[in-house]
């Protein structure tokens, strides 16, 4: 048991570095150059976006997805609707988080920008948050393509 705890502690301490090494290219492509701490947080966000299809799977088959992702079978007495609500919440939170991050990192125009930058400044907060859905779909699709092509190449 102590060995398992030590491994989990090591994994949690190095989670930022692991996520940065796996998702670093996507962070640079989406957000540009960032600081170390910011890059680790953005890598976790991109990783969540890449795993978004699994969250959607959890809405359709909540008990199976919980077992696949957590390796924990849910007891029969636990209501399936509660698990489904959790999956729906997670599936909605990831694209909204991506949209919020993109909205916060968008450069502020000072009146000298292009017409596209000016129209982006006039967008409602809801529109800017919902913009995370197509970005999340794009990230998930990109990682699916990478996973399939690397898997077939090896």
What is the pLDDT at residue 95?
Answer: 94
pLDDT recorded at residue 8? 73
Distance between CA atoms of 118 and 111, rounded to whole angstroms?
A: 8
pLDDT at residue 101 in the model: 87
pLDDT of residue 91: 93
SS (H, E, C) 35-70: CHHHHHHHHHHHHHHHCHHHHHHHHHCHHHHHHHHH
Six-digit token string for 59: 């809405």
Q: Take residue 60 and report the two structure tokens written for it.
A: 């359709």
Report the chain's mean pLDDT, rounded to a whole number: 80
Per-residue pLDDT of the chain (154 residues; tens, 9 = 90+): 678 777 777 777 676 666 667 777 788 888 888 887 788 788 888 888 988 998 898 889 888 887 777 777 888 888 888 888 988 999 999 999 998 888 887 665 555 555 555 555 677 878 888 889 999 999 999 888 887 887 666 5
Q: How far is CA 28 from CA 22, 57, 135, 142, 148, in A?
A: 12, 28, 15, 14, 22
Each domain of the chain, given as residue ranges in start order, spans 2-153
Residue 111 pLDDT: 52
Report d(CA 5, CA 146) in Å as an integer.
33
Cα–Cα nearest to 27, from 153, 144, 135? 135
pTM value?
Answer: 0.70
What pLDDT is stored for residue 118 in this prediction? 55
């Amino acid at each position: 048991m102590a060995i398992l705890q030590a491994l989990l502690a090591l994994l949690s301490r190095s989670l930022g570095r692991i996520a940065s090494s796996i998702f670093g290219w996507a962070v640079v492509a989406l957000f540009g150059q960032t600081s170390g701490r910011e890059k680790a947080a953005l890598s976790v966000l991109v990783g969540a976006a890449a795993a978004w299809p699994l969250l959607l799977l959890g809405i359709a088959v909540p008990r199976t997805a919980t077992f696949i992702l957590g390796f924990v079978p849910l007891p029969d007495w636990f209501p399936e609707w509660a698990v489904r609500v959790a999956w729906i919440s997670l599936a909605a939170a990831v694209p909204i988080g991506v949209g919020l991050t993109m909205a916060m990192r968008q450069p502020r125009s000072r009146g000298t920008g292009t017409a596209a930058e000016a129209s982006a400044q006039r967008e409602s907060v809801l529109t800017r948050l919902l913009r995370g859905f197509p970005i999340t779909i794009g990230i998930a699709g990109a990682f699916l393509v990478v996973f399939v092509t690397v898997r077939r190449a090896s």
